């Protein structure tokens, strides 16, 4: 199974999981108990992981992703890039409208009760969560080449998304 956590747009060969909307499976990162061990070959999530609390929910979610991935399986996570967002926010040519957009990326769009962010990520922060869960071969990538979503968003030709992937050891 290829699992898109937080996704709602159908894609061939992928199952979508979201707490609301027209997803294949209802749930989110904090609820992976419905999946068997080693049942997913790939886990993808775009701008959804940052909604979890960093003390308990986030480590638990990463542990659960590790559990449901097959050995050799890959996890691909896109989150708002706190470093890029901060640099863009104070750039001398940024407009107030762009600052507003950047603020909403960092803190969540706040369009519903679930659209609030609890953590800001840097590459080191996200890599530490991957490492602590047991993942290896952790790397940042420009683009996953999977979906047209926030993982590809740029402002002033700078990506606002931190895109990282890791592998469950064989």
Give me the number of domains the chain comprises: 1
Place 9 in a pLDDT band, splitting at 50, 70 and 90.
confident
Is 112 among the domain residues? no
- Residues 61-90: pLDDT tens digits? 999 999 999 999 999 999 999 999 999 999
* CATH label of the domain that carries residue 19: 3.40.50.150
- pLDDT, residue 138, reads 98
- Residues 36-66: pLDDT tens digits? 999 999 999 999 999 999 999 999 999 999 9
- Residues 103-143: pLDDT tens digits? 999 998 887 777 889 999 999 999 999 999 999 999 999 99
Is 101 among the domain residues? no
Is 70 among the domain residues? yes
Cα–Cα distance, 71 to 87 (Å, whole number):
38
* Spatial CA neighbour of 146 closest among 24, 56, 44: 44
Is 91 among the domain residues? no
The b-or-e profile of 84-108 (16+ CB within 10 A means b, else e) is bbeebeeeeebeeeeeebbeebbeb
Is 11 among the domain residues? yes
Is 8 among the domain residues? yes
Is 62 among the domain residues? yes
Query: 123 lies in which domain range?
Result: 2-81+117-153+162-167
Cα–Cα distance, 155 to 10 (Å, whole number):
27
Is 132 among the domain residues? yes
């Amino acid at each position: 199974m290829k699992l898109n956590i937080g996704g709602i747009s159908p894609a061939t060969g992928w199952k979508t999981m979201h707490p609301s909307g027209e997803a294949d499976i209802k749930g989110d990162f904090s609820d992976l108990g419905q999946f068997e061990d080693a049942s997913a070959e790939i886990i993808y999530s775009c701008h959804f992981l940052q909604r979890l609390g960093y003390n308990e929910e986030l480590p638990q979610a990463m542990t659960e992703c590790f559990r449901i991935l097959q050995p050799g399986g890959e996890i691909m996570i896109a989150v708002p890039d706190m470093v890029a967002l901060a640099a863009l926010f104070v750039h001398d040519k940024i407009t107030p409208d762009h600052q507003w957009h950047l603020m909403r990326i960092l803190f969540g769009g706040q369009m519903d009760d679930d659209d609030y962010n609890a953590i800001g990520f840097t590459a080191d922060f996200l890599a530490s969560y991957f490492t602590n869960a047991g993942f290896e071969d952790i790397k940042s990538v420009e683009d996953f080449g999977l979906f047209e979503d926030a993982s590809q968003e740029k402002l002033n030709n700078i990506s606002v998304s931190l895109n990282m992937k890791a592998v469950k050891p064989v």
